[in-house]
Amino acid sequence: PAMAQKLGLGRTALPEEIAAWNGDISPDGTGLPIGQGDAIEGEEIFATKCAACHGDFAEGIGNWPKLAGGKDTLNHEDPLKTVGSYWPYLSTAFDYIQRSMPYGDAGTLGDDETYAILAYILYSNDLIEDDFVLSNETFLDVAMPNADGFIVDNRAETEYAHWRSEPCMENCKAAPVKVTMRAMVLDVTPQEEAAAVPAPEVEAVVAEPVQE
Amino acid sequence: MTHKPSRRQFLRNTVAAGAAITVAGKADAQSPDPLITEVQPWAQSFGDGVDETPYGLPISYENDVIRRNVEWLTADTVSSINFTPIHALDGTITPQGCAFERHHSGAIDLKKEDYRLMINGLVDTPLVFTYADLERFPRENHVYFCECAANSGMEWAGAQLNGAQFTHGMIHNMEYTGVPLRTLLEEAGLDTAGDLKDKWVFVEGADASSNGRSIPMEKALDDVLVAFKANGEALRKEHGYPVRLVVPGWEGNMWIKWIRRIEVMDAAVQAREETSKYTDTLADGVSRKWTWEMDAKSVVTSPSPQSPITHGTGPLVITGLAWSGRGAITRVDVSKDGGMTWETARLAKAGEKMALTRFYLDTDWDGSEMMLQSRAMDDTGYVQPTKTQLREVRGLNSIYHNNGIQTWLVRANGEAENVEVS
C-alpha cells in the first residue's frame, strides 16, 4: 500500500526494552521462556500465592474464578468454564499467569514458578500426571480438551442473513401479548439508601380521558 | 448482596421529585403561586462568584445521576463494571464523569511524563513514543460509542435487573481526538510485514491485567484511533489516561486503555481476553470467537424503571438510544403493546456511523398500561432481533452480545418494570 510520508517522530526501541514488554505467547509456543516445573512444586507455590482466592485444588473460593473442573459441561444449562474444560490453548494460561497473576501482585512470578503453577492447574484438571515436567519443550505435548471448541464469528450466515427483512408494523403477533417474566420477582437490583427527607406518600396517578 | 433496601425506598427516591405534581394535564391555579408572587432568595441576593468552582460538578439536585455498581456481579470492585445512568441522560454525548468503567485490575494512575508507547514486531523499525510525540502527529475527531461486550449480559436468561442503567448502561459515547493507528504503524514501517491481509496487531495496556487483544490488520488500518482526548478534554483516569485505543463499532474490551504496546504479528495471540473471555458459548457447547462487532441495538431510556411517569396522562415524551457497530442507525420503531404494533420514532438527528443516536416518540398517554419496546435498524438493513430470536440461534449461555429488544411494562400509575413478554 502507498505509505504516508514519515514524520520522524519517536525513536528506535532497544532490544532490552522490547524484551521487557514483549511477553505475549502464541499457541505454537512462540514467546515461551526456557524453564520447567511440575505439579508437586506447583502445589506448594499455588498454596502460598494462589489458593487464597482459587482454592487449594484450584476449585475457586466464593466468586473467584474456578480454574479446575467443569469437564464436559459446556452444553449444560450452567457450564463451568475452566482452564481444563474451556481454554483452547495452554499458551494463554502461561501468558496470563505470568503477566497478570497473582492478582494484586502481577508480574512477580519467575519462569520456573509459572511452569510449576501451570503444571499444578493441569494436574488439578486431570490433564497430566503428577510427575509430568512442564517445560518449554514439553509444552505442546499437553492436549487441551476444548482446543477444537471454537468457531470464528458466524453471525453473517446464521443471523444477518435472516434479520435484514422489512419488519412487521401491525398485527405482528398471533396471540395477545402477555408478560412472561419480571425482574422485580428476582429483586436483585441495587437500590438507593433511604432518602434523608421524609418520603411523601406517592399518590396513584388517576387515569383521565385525554382532553382534546 | 449484603444490603438490599426495600423496593419502596427505591420508588420513593425516583418518584419523590414528581410526587407533588401528580395532577394530570393543566389545572388552573386555585391560588397565586408564591414562587412567583414572593421574591425568592436567588432573585434578591448573590449566587456564587466565578472563583468558586475552577472545575465544576453537577448541581446537588442531580446527585442521583451517577454511576452505579452491582455488587453481586463480580468478586471485587477492581476487576468489575459500573453503569452509566442512561435513564437520566438525553442527547447522545455521555458526560465523562458518569460514563461507565470496566477495569480488570483497577483504574491506574499513569502520568504523561511516565507514558511510553512501543510499536514492535513485524515492522521496519520498532519505535518508542512519548506522550509528547503523539501530540505531534496529525489528529482526527470522531464520535463513537464504546459498549461493553457484556452489556445486557445478565438478561440472557430472563429479566433480572430493574433499570435501563443496569440492563443497558455498560456504554458511553464520546467525541475522541487522536491519531489514526494507521499513522503510527506507517511511522514504524510495514514493508517488513509483507502481505498485510493476513497480519494482526496485538495491543496491550500498561495496567497489571494488560487486557491484550488481537486485532486484524484490516481494522487497524481502517478506523482505529489512538486517542488522548474525549469530549474536549484529556481522558479521565478511569478511561485510560493519558492514551487509549478507540475501536469503532467493536466490543468495548478491545478499546485498550493506558495502551503501552502494539505488536505487528503473523497470527492472533489468542490471549486470555479472546479465549477464556469474550468468546460466546452456543447451546451445543461450541463457542464463537472473534465476535468483534456490536450489532444494532436500542433501548427506551424514559419512561423506564428508574424514570417513571410522574406527570399523569397527556403529552408524554418516549425517548431512547439506538446504535450499531456495523454502521449508522437509519430508523427506530417503538411499540407500546409489546410488539403487536409499531410506530416509527423521530431521530433527533441522522444516525452517524458507530455512534449513539437519540430517538423520540412524542405521544399522548391515556393512562393505560404499556409494554414499551424499541427496535433499531441500521444501514446494512439489519433489524434488531427479539430476545427469542437471539436465543433460538444462541441458547442462553452466550454471556456477551445480547442486543435483544427490551420491554418495559409501564403501569397505570406510571411505574415501569423490566419484563419479558410472549
CA distance B39 to chain A (A): 25
The answer, for B141 touching chain A at a CB cutoff of 8 Å, is no
By Cβ distance, the residue of A169, A188, A201 closest to B342 is A169
The answer, for B30 touching chain A at a CB cutoff of 8 Å, is no
pLDDT mean values, one per 10 residues, chain A (212 residues): 78 98 96 97 98 97 95 96 98 97 96 98 97 97 97 98 96 95 88 46 34 34
pLDDT value for B4: 43
Considering only residues B235 and B23, tell me which one the structure prediction assigns the higher pLDDT: B235
ipTM of the complex: 0.91
Q: What backbone torsions phi and psi does residue A82 show, to the nearest 5 degrees?
A: -125, 180
Mean pLDDT on B176-195: 97
Enter the C-alpha cell of residue B417. 418494570
Largest CA distance in chain A: 85
Say which amino acid occupies A53.
C
pLDDT value for A4: 63
**Which residues on A lie below 8 Å from B189 (Cβ)?**
3, 6
Q: How far is CA B15 from CA A51, A193, A199, B5, B141, in A?
A: 47, 14, 10, 16, 39
pLDDT, tens digit (0-9, with 9 covering 90-100), for B306-363 = 999 999 999 999 999 999 999 999 999 999 999 999 999 999 999 999 999 999 999 9
Q: Is the pLDDT of residue B13 over 70?
A: no
Common-topology check for domains B102-288 and B297-419: no
**Which residues on B lie below 8 Å from A171 (Cβ)?**
340-341
B271:A63 CB<8 A: no
pLDDT value for B25: 52
Contact B256, B211 (CB under 8 A): yes
Q: pLDDT tier at B74 (50, 70, 90 boundaries)?
A: confident
Q: pLDDT tier at B17 (50, 70, 90 boundaries)?
A: very low
Q: How far is it, in rounded angstroms, from Cα B306 to Cα B86?
A: 10
Contact B22, B312 (CB under 8 A): yes
pLDDT value for A206: 32
Class of domain B102-288: alpha beta
B261:A11 CB<8 A: no
CA distance B107 to chain A (A): 13
**Which residues on B lie below 8 Å from A4 (Cβ)?**
183, 186
A152:B289 CB<8 A: yes
- What contacts A25, CB < 8 A, 6 or more positions away? A31, A32, A91, A92, A94, A95, B269
> Residue A14 burial by CB count (10 A; 0-12/13-18/19+): exposed, middle or buried?
exposed
CA distance A63 to chain B (A): 5
Q: What backbone torsions phi and psi does residue B322 show, to the nearest 5 degrees?
A: -135, 150
**Which residues on B lie below 8 Å from A181 (Cβ)?**
158-159, 419-420
Contact A118, A90 (CB under 8 A): yes
pLDDT, tens digit (0-9, with 9 covering 90-100), for B230-274 = 999 999 999 999 999 999 999 999 999 999 999 999 999 999 999
Segment 230-269 of chain B within 8 Å of chain A by CB: 260-261, 263, 265, 267, 269
Q: How far is it, in rounded angstroms, from Cα B57 to Cα A141?
A: 58
The answer, for B309 touching chain A at a CB cutoff of 8 Å, is yes
- What contacts A8, CB < 8 A, 6 or more positions away? none
> Residue A165 burial by CB count (10 A; 0-12/13-18/19+): exposed, middle or buried?
exposed
**Which residues on B lie below 8 Å from A79 (Cβ)?**
281, 285, 397
pLDDT value for B15: 47
By Cβ distance, the residue of A7, A205, A208 closest to B136 is A7
B339:A194 CB<8 A: no
Question: What Rg, from alpha-carbon coordinates, does chain A have?
Answer: 27
By Cβ distance, the residue of A11, A153, A180 closest to B291 is A153
Which candidate, B204, B16, B111, places its Cα nearest to that of A197?
B16
The angle at the Cα of B148, spanning B143 to B150, to the nearest 5 degrees, equals 155
Q: Which residue of B has its CA nearest to A10?
A: B129
Contact B202, B244 (CB under 8 A): no
Size of interface A-B (CB pairs under 8 A): 318
By Cβ distance, the residue of B275, B337, B366 closest to A89 is B275
A163:B367 CB<8 A: no
Q: pLDDT tier at B26 (50, 70, 90 boundaries)?
A: low
Which candidate, B374, B211, B375, B361, places its Cα nearest to that of B277?
B211
Q: pLDDT tier at B73 (50, 70, 90 boundaries)?
A: confident
**Which residues on B lie below 8 Å from A32 (Cβ)?**
none
A183:B417 CB<8 A: yes
Enter the C-alpha cell of residue B274. 479472546
Could you tell me what percent of chain B has a pLDDT over 70?
94
The answer, for B202 touching chain A at a CB cutoff of 8 Å, is yes
Mean pLDDT on B25-46: 91
pLDDT, tens digit (0-9, with 9 covering 90-100), for B274-288 = 999 999 999 999 999
Q: Where are the domains of chain B?
A: 102-288, 297-419
pLDDT, tens digit (0-9, with 9 covering 90-100), for B381-399 = 999 999 999 999 999 999 9
**Which residues on A lie below 8 Å from B226 (Cβ)?**
none
> Residue B191 burial by CB count (10 A; 0-12/13-18/19+): exposed, middle or buried?
exposed
pLDDT value for B145: 98
According to CATH, what is the number of the domain B297-419?
2.60.40.650
The answer, for B279 touching chain A at a CB cutoff of 8 Å, is yes
Q: pLDDT tier at B28 (50, 70, 90 boundaries)?
A: confident
pLDDT value for B309: 98
CA distance A40 to chain B (A): 25
**Which residues on A lie below 8 Å from B364 (Cβ)?**
210
B385:A159 CB<8 A: yes
List the alpha helices (DSSP H) in B233-320: none
pLDDT value for B21: 45
Enter the C-alpha cell of residue B212. 491484550
**Which residues on A lie below 8 Å from B180 (Cβ)?**
none
B70:A160 CB<8 A: no
B382:A164 CB<8 A: yes
**Which residues on A lie below 8 Å from B188 (Cβ)?**
10
B186:A6 CB<8 A: yes
* Helix or strand holding residue B230 (H, E): strand B225-230
**What letter does residue A165 receive in the DSSP assignment?**
S
A74:B163 CB<8 A: no
Considering only residues B187 and B26, tell me which one the structure prediction assigns the higher pLDDT: B187
Q: Mapped to the 3 state alphabet, what secondary structure does B34-102 carry? A: HHHHCCCHHHHCCCCCCCCCCCCCCCHHHCCCCCEECHHHCCCCCCEEEECCHHHCCCCCCCHHHCCCE
CA distance B51 to chain A (A): 30
Q: Is the pLDDT of residue B132 over 90?
A: yes
- What contacts B55, CB < 8 A, 6 or more positions away? none
A100:B210 CB<8 A: yes
Q: How far is it, in rounded angstroms, from Cα B11 to Cα A111?
A: 55
Segment 159-188 of chain B within 8 Å of chain A by CB: 159-163, 166, 183, 186-188
Q: How far is it, in rounded angstroms, from Cα B72 to Cα B92?
A: 29
A160:B271 CB<8 A: no
pLDDT value for B240: 98
